[in-house]
Amino acid sequence: NQPGGKPLACKVSNQQKIEQSILYSADPAMFNNAQKPYFDQIAALAKLVRFGGDCYSYGLLASGHIDLVVEADLKNYDVMALVPVVESAGGLISDWNGNSSFDDEWDGCLVATASPELHKQALGLLKTA
């Protein structure tokens, strides 16, 4: 809270480069054999990689403490409540192809980022998955 009891709005970081980003994911085992090389490629570029945050990772992203979340093997009910949290803080969230529809046809792969430039970089590495 700000002085006077006014709540502070969440805001994502302004990180623009994967090489300077903090990456979170719930579990490295969530990626199948076809997806893992793409995650590993991003993880190798990131400044710091952490696991185990689950939905907390998206709160960290929305509040500017981390810059990037990459996950797979999710269901639409896992992310529907997280979309407005990330987007209202200025972040972007999509599947690995850049689509933001998490309907029943969604493949369960997700990337959430702090900036459009970071999102573009991540998608460039993930789109071929």
Distances (CA, A) of 106 to 18, 35, 59, 70: 25, 15, 22, 15
**Amino acid symbol at 86:** V
| β-pair type (68-71, 48-51) | unpaired
Instruction: Give the CA count within 13 Å in the CB-facing half-sphere of 14.
Output: 0
Is 73 labeled as ligand-binding? no
| Alpha-helical regions (H) of the chain | 36-45, 56-62, 76-79, 82-88, 116-126
Q: Which residues are annotated as a binding site for Mg(2+)?
A: 78
Q: Which residues are annotated as a binding site?
A: 78
